[in-house]
């Protein structure tokens, strides 16, 4: 190890100590599994309090289910987190070489970190844009029985909707194949109030959605009446230009299963919201759950949302306690 590597390793060792300190100070009010407030302290796990739920009888620590749950090589993960928050995604090869981890760990860390970025959601306000993005259906990474030849042939394009205001960009998976107004309602309804101004380009579903949700100020770029609204057009172009570039460059060959994860990450990155903050790694108890259930979430996208009635063979990996969050509703995870 040369000098600068050593300094860096020491730096992240100190960061890990900080992370452990703030983990120990996390306030726990209710059971992370069943949300009951009927919990008691139940000994210690390393430097953390362990809790026991009197309702569901499960035990947990404050960081159960968060990004660092069951995470080994934590100092390296912190180093990875700091690089990605600054420079964006690393390739698997870069990850392996820079951090000395194997390919599977590199994939897992990427997905874990991208899942972490899925939670900074808020309503968009003021002038917002709406844009449809189409991606080819992809089963990349699926082998043998888990790869479905018919799906490849028959599944339509995957549709994502990107929307945002001056501060945030979001992109959500709507459906594989053609979608309608109901699908848009499902995905977009809680994203903004009806007093926003929407700028969009020709898409009949957008128009129906806007009318159906009583949004009064909406501007279609293709309308003749739009002529003269240069400021709005420039706004739309600026908002979508970076997005277009990112989608065509960074989403090349992303498996449909992971499309939402990637778009969460790049939306955060383009919104300049990927700053390195230790608290982000411990403030959401659902990260690990989503991470281990990704295959089931993908199945719901195919079957329930997109109504694709094809045989689906799971890629099975085994995780300790993966089924503990039984209360969790999968539907809410499509386009999360
Ligand atoms: Zn409980």
Written as tens digits, the pLDDT of the chain (336 aa) is 567 777 777 899 999 999 999 999 999 999 988 889 999 999 998 889 999 999 999 999 999 999 999 999 999 999 999 999 988 888 889 989 989 999 999 999 999 999 888 756 789 999 999 999 999 999 998 998 999 998 888 888 999 999 999 888 888 999 999 999 999 998 898 888 888 999 998 889 999 999 998 888 988 888 876 666 788 888 888 888 888 888 888 777 899 999 988 888 888 888 888 889 999 999 988 888 888 888 988 998 999 899 998 888 988 887 776 766 655 555 556 555
Kind plus residue range of the DSSP H or E element containing 13: helix 3-24
C-alpha 303 to ligand 1 mean position (Å): 30
pLDDT for 336 = 55
Q: Tell me, what DSSP letter sits at residue 147?
A: S
Q: Tell me, what DSSP letter sits at residue 253?
A: T
For the record, the structure tokens of 304 come out as 């329930």
Alpha-carbon span 158 to 181, nearest angstrom: 16
C-alpha 39 to ligand 1 mean position (Å): 8
pLDDT for 164 = 92
C-alpha 59 to ligand 1 mean position (Å): 8
pLDDT for 235 = 87
Alpha-carbon span 110 to 153, nearest angstrom: 29
C-alpha 24 to ligand 1 mean position (Å): 20
Cβ proximity of 83 and 106 under 8 Å: no
C-alpha 131 to ligand 1 mean position (Å): 41
C-alpha 118 to ligand 1 mean position (Å): 24
Q: What are the residues whose beta carbons fall under 8 Å from the beta carbon of 55, sequence distance 6 or more? A: 31, 34, 36, 38
C-alpha 32 to ligand 1 mean position (Å): 7
Alpha-carbon span 10 to 196, nearest angstrom: 49
127-256 is classed in which CATH architecture? 2-Layer Sandwich (3.30)
* Order of strands, sheet of 197-200, starting from the edge strand that comes earlier in the sequence: 169-176, 158-164, 127-135, 197-200, 217-220
Q: Which residues pair with 130 in a beta bridge?
A: 163, 200
Cβ proximity of 271 and 167 under 8 Å: yes
Q: What are the residues whose beta carbons fall under 8 Å from the beta carbon of 3, sequence distance 6 or more? A: none
Strand ranges (E), the chain: 39-45, 48-53, 59-60, 127-135, 158-164, 169-176, 197-200, 217-220
Residue ranges with CB less than 5 Å from ion ligand 1: 31, 33-34, 36, 53, 55-56
- Count the Cβ atoms, other than its own, within 10 Å of residue 96: 15
Q: Tell me, what DSSP letter sits at residue 177?
A: S
pLDDT for 6 = 75
C-alpha 132 to ligand 1 mean position (Å): 41
C-alpha 69 to ligand 1 mean position (Å): 18
pLDDT for 190 = 84
For the record, the structure tokens of 67 come out as 């990004």
C-alpha 268 to ligand 1 mean position (Å): 32
C-alpha 31 to ligand 1 mean position (Å): 5
- Closest Cα partner for 90 from 274, 297, 289, 288? 274
C-alpha 35, offset from chain centre: 23
R_g (Cα) of the chain, nearest Å: 22
pLDDT for 24 = 94
C-alpha 40 to ligand 1 mean position (Å): 11
- Closest Cα partner for 137 from 161, 158, 162? 158
Strands 127-135 and 197-200: parallel
C-alpha 51 to ligand 1 mean position (Å): 10
pLDDT for 328 = 56
C-alpha 72 to ligand 1 mean position (Å): 26
Using DSSP, state whether 268 is helix, strand or coil.
helix
C-alpha 54 to ligand 1 mean position (Å): 7
pLDDT for 3 = 74
C-alpha 324 to ligand 1 mean position (Å): 10
| Sequence ranges of the chain with CATH classification 3.30.420 | 127-256
C-alpha 71 to ligand 1 mean position (Å): 23
Alpha-carbon span 124 to 191, nearest angstrom: 6
C-alpha 329 to ligand 1 mean position (Å): 17
């Amino acid at each position: 190890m040369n000098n600068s590597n050593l300094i860096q390793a020491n730096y992240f060792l100190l960061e890990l100590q900080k992370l452990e300190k703030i983990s120990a100070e996390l306030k726990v009010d209710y059971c992370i599994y069943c949300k009951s407030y009927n919990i008691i302290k139940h000994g210690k796990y390393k430097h953390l309090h362990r809790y026991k739920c009197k309702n569901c009888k499960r035990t947990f620590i404050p960081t159960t289910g968060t990004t660092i749950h069951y995470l080994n090589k934590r100092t390296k993960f912190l180093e990875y987190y700091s690089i990605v928050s600054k420079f964006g995604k690393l390739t698997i090869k870069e990850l392996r070489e820079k951090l000395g981890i194997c390919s599977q760990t590199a994939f897992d860390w990427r997905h874990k970190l991208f899942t972490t970025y899925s939670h900074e959601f808020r309503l968009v306000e003021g002038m917002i844009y709406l844009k449809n993005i189409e991606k080819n259906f992809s089963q990349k990474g699926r082998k043998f029985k888990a790869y479905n030849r018919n799906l490849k042939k028959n599944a339509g394009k995957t549709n994502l909707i990107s929307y945002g205001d001056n501060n945030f960009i979001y992109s959500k998976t709507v459906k594989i194949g053609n979608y309608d107004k109901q699908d848009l309602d499902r995905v977009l309804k809680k994203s903004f109030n009806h007093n926003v101004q929407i700028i969009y380009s020709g898409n009949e579903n957008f128009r129906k959605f806007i009318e159906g949700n009583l949004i009064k100020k909406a501007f279609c770029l293709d309308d003749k009446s739009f002529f003269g609204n240069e400021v709005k057009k420039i706004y739309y172009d600026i908002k979508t230009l970076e997005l277009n570039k990112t989608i065509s460059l960074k989403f090349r060959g992303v498996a449909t299963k992971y499309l939402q994860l990637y778009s969460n990450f790049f939306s955060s990155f383009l919104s300049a919201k990927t700053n390195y903050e230790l608290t982000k790694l411990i403030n959401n108890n659902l990260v690990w759950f989503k991470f281990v259930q990704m295959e089931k979430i993908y199945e719901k996208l195919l079957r329930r949302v997109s109504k694709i009635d094809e045989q689906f063979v799971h890629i099975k990996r085994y995780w300790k306690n993966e089924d503990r969050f039984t209360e969790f509703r999968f539907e809410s995870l499509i386009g999360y």
